[in-house]
Each structure stands twice: as C-alpha cells, then as structure tokens.
Amino acid sequence: MTEQTLAERLAALREARVVLVSACLLGEACRYDGKSKSSSRVMQALEGKELVPVCPETGAGLGIPRPAVELRGGTGEAVLAGQARAVVAATGEDRTAEFRHGAELALEAARRFGVKVAVLKERSPSCGSQGTHVDGGVVSGRGVTAALLHSAGITVLSDEEL
Ligand code: SF4
C-alpha cells in the first residue's frame, strides 16, 4: 500500500464504520506485563463505530504475563520477509512463528468484518505503526501485525496519532 499522510489516514478513520483495534487500548489486560493500556482518547475517537478488538500476541497463544519481545535485525516488514526475527529480549528465545501467526489472525479478523482502518498500540513489536522495538531500542517503523495489515491495504493509525 502507498504511504498515506496523517490527514488522509485520519479522514479514513472518520469515514470508517468498523475499526480493528488493539484490545489493550480498549481496557483488555492483555499486555506482556499483564496490564491494559486503556485510552480515553481512543475511546473518544472510536465513539459510534463498530469495533473489532484483536490482540495478536495472546491470539497466537502467548500468555499473560509474558516475557517482553523485541524484533532483531529489522522491523515488521523484514520479519514477514524472513529477514528478521521476533525474540524474547532477555533470553533470545525465538517467537517469530507466534508473531507471524498473530498477525495473520488479525488480518483474518479484518477481512471477516470488512475492516479498512485499524487503530493500533504504538511501539509494540506487533502493533507499533510509527515506531517499534528493534535491537534494543525504539526505531521508526512497523511491528509485525501493523506491517501485515498495511501490506494488505488497511489504513493503520497509532493511538498516539488520534
Ligand atoms: S499492543 Fe497489540 S499485541 Fe500488545 S497487548 Fe496490545 S493488542 Fe496485544
């Protein structure tokens, strides 16, 4: 998908009837640390819309809480291309298959409900869309789920862009 400006992505959100959302932004305690990241800004922006909550990581069977994961060798696009990996930051255990699977489940849900716009949690190695954790730091780019949704033509916004 070609890159849209923020104004274009916000306009797409305003017009959307149904929106895919990171479940943690809606108050689901599904983050790696067992907490949620509920956001009144997100709730306000999504008022009146039908919501499709997804958590790619728990959807793929990773538990709550779970060890923090970061990408190694590149952002979400590189993971999808087989050129980078998702690993437990503390131990290096590979979680690439789970991250890819979680992204595929999110895309499947988006297709099932006719979703054209997603609002995802910033900086997550799955959901980050402007920044994500790579090689020990936050870099500009997408996590694995955000990358797959973007490549499928879905407009992705970060909670911090609303
Ligand atoms: S950021 Fe995405 S993967 Fe992480 S807890 Fe929220 S919904 Fe799940």
Query: Which residue among 30, 66, 157 has the greatest number of ligand 1 atoms within 8 angstroms of its CB, and so is best to mutate?
Result: 30
Confidence check: pLDDT of 142 > 80: yes
CA neighbor of 94 nearest in space, from 116, 73, 108: 73
Q: Kindly tell me if the per-residue pLDDT of 2 is higher than 90.
A: no
Q: How does residue 23 score in pLDDT terms, banded at 50, 70 and 90?
A: very high
Instruction: Kindly report the number of other CB atoms within 10 A of residue 97's CB atom.
Output: 11
Distance 28 CA to ligand 1 centre (A): 9
| Coil, helix or strand at residue 138 | strand
Give the closest residue to 121 by CA, choosing from 57, 72, 73, 64: 57
Structure-derived torsion over alpha carbons of residues 84, 89, 92, 95, reported in degrees to the nearest 10 = -60
**pLDDT of 76-94, one tens digit each?**
999 999 999 999 999 999 9
Closest to 124 in 3D by CA, of 104, 149, 107, 99: 99
Full-model pTM: 0.98
In the reported structure, the alpha carbon of residue 11 is separated from the centroid of ligand 1 by a whole-number distance in angstroms of: 24
Q: Exposure of 43 by Cβ count < 10 A (0-12 exposed, 13-18 middle, 19+ buried)?
A: middle
> Residue 1 — pLDDT band, cuts 50, 70, 90?
low
Are 79 and 99 in contact by the 8 Å Cβ rule? The answer is yes
Q: Is the CB of 121 under 6 A from ligand 1?
A: yes
Residue with tokens 């009837």: 17
Residue in 20, 29, 95 with CA at minimum distance from that of residue 65: 29
Return the SS3 of 123: strand
Is residue 149 in contact with ligand 1, taking CB distance under 6 Å?
no
- Please indicate whether residue 31, judged by its CB atom, sits closer than 6 Å to ligand 1: yes
Rounded CA-CA distance 40/90 in Å is 32
